[in-house]
Amino acid sequence: MIIVTGGAGFIGSNLVKGLNTLGRNNILVVDNLKNGHKFRNLVGCDYLDYMDKSEFLDHIINQTFPYKDVEIVFHQGACSSTTEWDGRYMMENNFNYSKKVLGFCETHYSPMIYASSASVYGTGREFDEDGQHEQPLNMYAYSKYLFDSYVRKTWQERDIKVIGLRYFNVYGPHESHKGAMASIALHLHEQMLDSGVLNLFRGSDNYGDGEQSRDFIHVDDVVAVNLWCMEEATDSGIYNVGTGESRSFNDVARAVLAFHGKGKLKYIDFPDALKGSYQSYTRADIAALRAAGYKGKFQSLEQGMQAYLEWLTAGQGL
């Protein structure tokens, strides 16, 4: 059995579909469907069973998990809100939950591939996996940073493969349930449909209007890295998952404008609440991932945006 926590979420549901393309359907989806809209992400997925997160945790704690032969666990489940400041909730939902899943994997001698985040780098300019470059700015980033640190400190104690993947700015199908935390790609597309005016922040941190820059990666490429880690990666490690290119928010907006053939850009004041805690620049250093053996190509921003916008306008915009 393959377990995907957060399996009804953005990356999790795409990962289930990716496993299906490999002919794998002996999958347990673990999630919390309090946000019932997420069910749409699982329509068309082929999987064995669904289990609520709370039930899954009960089985972990009581050692009563009903299935045997757990082949691997993809741990994608987390609160991904960068504006959530309830530290107790964030630590329980992200850090403590992840530790319990790791313990479960050890009990079942199952490899664990888990979602980390590029947010751990904060406003730094170095984006390799060296711990000295990590400076989280919010509770979400801190919860991810802390679990990465916990895993690093206990490498030698583990008899299983444990791989952490630091996702950069992921965009693509099945993210609409994320609301404000959805990608700028989706927000700009929705603004185009609503008013034809695309809003970007004015200049900040010595960047011009809309010139803040991120490493944008299509979710299909993220899934490809996860599947490679399952099938081919031999060693434990923490790896950046990005394209290795940094592109401006203006570039994303221009892709939306070009696709729709209309609309205009508008620059709005940079929010006071984000000052000092905003990543104006990210670019994944993917040398470690390449050194580990990953040879897959990443879609350019133009390629990924074209595919995503076609999917959205085909009426599949979930």
Q: Are 7 and 72 in contact (CB under 8 A)?
A: no
Which residue in 114, 121, 140, 281 is the catalytic one? 140
Q: Are 5 and 76 in contact (CB under 8 A)?
A: yes
Locate 216 and state its tokens.
């944008």
Residue 178 a catalytic site member: yes
Task: Sort 183 into a burial class: Cβ within 10 Å, 0-12 / 13-18 / 19+.
Answer: buried
Collapse the DSSP code of 205 into the 3-class scheme (helix H, G, I; strand E, B; otherwise coil) and give the result: coil
DSSP state of 203: P
Which residue in 99, 178, 207, 266 is the catalytic one? 178
For residue 153, give Cα distances in angstroms to 106, 150, 157: 16, 5, 9
Q: Under 8 Å CB-to-CB from 49, ≥6 apart: which residues?
A: 28, 29
Residue 140 a catalytic site member: yes
Please identify every residue annotated as catalytic: 140, 178
